[in-house]
Structure formats: C-alpha cells, structure tokens
Amino acid sequence: MKTKVYIDGGSALCAAGAGIAPLWSAMAAGARNLSALPCPAFDSWPWPEVFLVDEPGAAELKVDRKLLRTMEKQAKLTLLGAAAALAACPPAVDADPSRIGLYLGLPTVDEAVPPWPLLEAMHEAGSTHFDSEMLHREVPAFFGLSTLNSNACAHIAGTFGMAGSMGACSPFADAGLAALIEGALSVCNGENSEALVGGCSAKINPLLMLQYEHLGWLAEAGRIPGEGVAFLTVGAASRSETAVRLAGYARGFIASEVQAAAVIAPVVETALAMAGITAHELDWVLPGACSDAEMALLARLAEGTPLVRACSAEVCGALGPAAPVLGVLLAAHAIRSGARLRYTAPGQPQREEAARVRHVLVTARGPEGQYAAVVVSKEKCDE
C-alpha cells in the first residue's frame, strides 16, 4: 500500500468470552461453549446447540431503555463492540471528529428486498404487483442488523461523535474484510486520519435458519452458527509498542466452483505482492472457512513450504462478517506475542507454539462468489 496503515486496539466478543485472550485459550484447549438453540427449528436442522452470547442491556450499553426497544440484538452487540474498541484505543484528544471514520461489515438488512433479476423480470412484464405471497416465494430469506445498514453506522457515529467518511458492507463473511479494506483506503487517501472497523454476526433466529437452508449450508458440519462482534482501529500512525500494519489486500469473484483455483490464486498473489512478500514467507494463515480445499490451493502457491493454519470457528462458530475481523485481531495478537496456533483436525485442540510471526494471511469467502484476502505484517520484520 502506498501509505502505511496500522492496526491498533480492538475488541471481541464471542461464545469463548470477551477479548482475544479467552478466544486464544479456547482454541488452544479445544473448549466449546455451546448453548441450546434459542428458538424452534425445522426437522432437518442439524445443530441442537449453537454458539450464543448474552444480549447486552441498558447498563452495559449506557443508553436509554427507550432506545433499546427499537434495537435488535446485533445492533446492541455492535454498539457494545464499538464502545469497547474505542475504550481500548481512544482517538487523540485533539483529533478532528470529521477525520474519524467508521466502516462496518454487517449481515443483510431484515427487509424482504426483491433481488435484481426479479425486478428486471417484473419490469419487462410491466408488473408492479408486490403481494406477500409473491415476495415469500421469490425473495431469499435473510436477516440483518437493525433495519438498514446506514442506520447502524449513523447510530454508532452519533453516539461516539464520529463524523468522518463511513461505509457499511454486506452481507456475508467477506463484508468484514471489505470494511477493513475500505477503512484502510480512507486513511491512505487522506479522507480519515483513523477509522473504526468492525464486523457483526447475524442473530440466531428462525430466519437465519432459512438462510442456511437456502444457501445449502446445512450439510457443512463446520458451519455451526455463532454470534459475535469484533472491532479494531486503523490509522496512519501506530500506537502500539510492536507496530502491526495492513500490508496488502485483494478482492475477487468466484463465478463457479470450477473457477475457484483460477480466482483464489491471483487474488492471494496480488495481496502478497502488495505486501512485498511471497507465499513462502507466510508464517500463519487464517482462512475464512478453514477448508482443506482452500488450504490446498494456498499450499500450491507456497510450492512445498508448509503453511500453518488456525480456525476460530471451531470454538465460536460461523460469525459471518465478524469472523475475518476477528481473524485480523488474532493475527495482530500472534505477531505481538510471538506465538501461533496450529489446526490439526476438527474438534481437536489447536496446538500453541512459539514462533516468529511476521506475516499472516487472512481470507474470507461469501456464498455468492465473493472472495477477499489481506496480509497483516509486523512493521519491523528483522526484529
């Protein structure tokens, strides 16, 4: 990147606990804090237990109870995560609010928005008839944060006095990295001096189950739903003793599974080239779904150099847009602590080992073909 962008602070909340340390410990121990499904499920639903977090109350959020009546659980989690991240890494006392940005990776909105092909077909047919039966039949089930993504940004910005450039990315895991990339670019381009970047999972409820069924995720044993939120700060200067920066990024689109290798390889290579390294120099990999197929593709890029990976979803579930932001926080923790975790098999503890971690690859993939990769690097790799 033409301008260095540093990663500081951060907050995390998932079933493993609040903060990165409890998550790291849970991954090392293979501990899974599962809870009973909080709502009725259809017969083919495969997971009677999921990864839940408690819903924050007015005392934790420090907001009027009247406001809570119109806030969904995800909105409360996002507000809580933002507050914790700002407490861990507050803006400078003399910071200009108009130069402090906010970028969020959020689930889809909770309204039945007709997809573009349906709107085109209706336009060609000269129809403007939107009855509930047609919408339920033609619109995929999805669920989101608050009522509109823009409202989520506006609420957090208003609460914490942020008036810089902002953006909301939706709707799946790749949205977390998209928010990070857009936030970093806002710093690179001089729009913001720093930006708060966050990702939030969807609330576990019957609509999320319908989304899982629609996307064919019920057959994926490792995709147990989870709730959580993760935030970090990006800026033009580091506030940490060990500086960690976003060194490279790239995005692509996988039109079909047969094209996966042809897309993933150049996307990752672009991110690595921007960071000024090759796949041989990666010290740790945090792939979006921890899939063997993706790791096989990445291993080919490394040309025989063993790649060490870890998987947070093993102990906190599939967190959607929060997952890759959590991955970046884990990457920063590994770089600063001089340790990493090694994934071996599903359900097994991930072995903690001392390591000189300088470069970490974090990836995310959406179900409609979205793919993104970022490289998180130590500022002075010779130390």
Query: Which residues lie closer than 8 Å to 96 by C-beta, 6 or more apart?
Result: 193
Amino acid at residue number 317:
G
Residue 120 burial (10 A CB sphere; 0-12, 13-18, 19+): exposed
Beta bridge partners of 370: 253
Amino acid at residue number 366:
G
**What confidence score (pLDDT) does residue 148 get?**
47
State the DSSP code for 280: G
Half-sphere exposure of residue 295: CA atoms within 13 angstroms, side-chain side: 17
Residue 38 burial (10 A CB sphere; 0-12, 13-18, 19+): middle
Residue 69 burial (10 A CB sphere; 0-12, 13-18, 19+): exposed
- Taking only the tens of pLDDT, the chain with its 383 residues reads 778 999 999 999 999 999 999 999 999 999 999 999 999 999 999 999 999 999 998 888 887 777 777 677 888 899 999 999 999 999 888 889 999 999 999 886 555 556 677 777 777 777 666 565 665 666 655 544 444 455 677 778 888 889 999 988 888 889 999 999 999 999 999 999 999 999 999 899 888 898 899 889 999 998 999 999 999 999 999 988 899 999 999 999 998 888 888 999 999 999 999 999 999 999 999 998 778 888 988 999 998 889 999 999 999 999 999 999 999 999 999 999 999 999 999 999 999 999 999 999 999 999 888 999 999 999 876 55
First to last CA, the chain: 22
Beta bridge partners of 36: 49
**What is the bridge-based pairing of β-strands 284-286 and 100-105?**
unpaired
**What confidence score (pLDDT) does residue 60 get?**
87
- Tallying the residues shown for the chain, one arrives at 383
pTM exceeding the 0.75 threshold for the entire prediction: yes
Half-sphere exposure of residue 184: CA atoms within 13 angstroms, side-chain side: 25
Structure tokens at 213: 């069924």
Structure tokens at 108: 């889809």
List Cα–Cα distances, 19 to 10, 291, 337, 360, 369, in angstroms.
8, 25, 15, 20, 31
> What is the Cα–Cα distance from 380 to 244, expressed in whole angstroms?
9
Q: Which domains does the chain have, with CATH numbers?
A: 6-112+140-235 (3.40.47.10), 247-378 (3.40.47.10)
> What is the Cα–Cα distance from 202 to 45, expressed in whole angstroms?
17
Cβ-contact 198, 324 below 8 angstroms: no
Cβ-contact 340, 283 below 8 angstroms: yes
Amino acid at residue number 101:
G
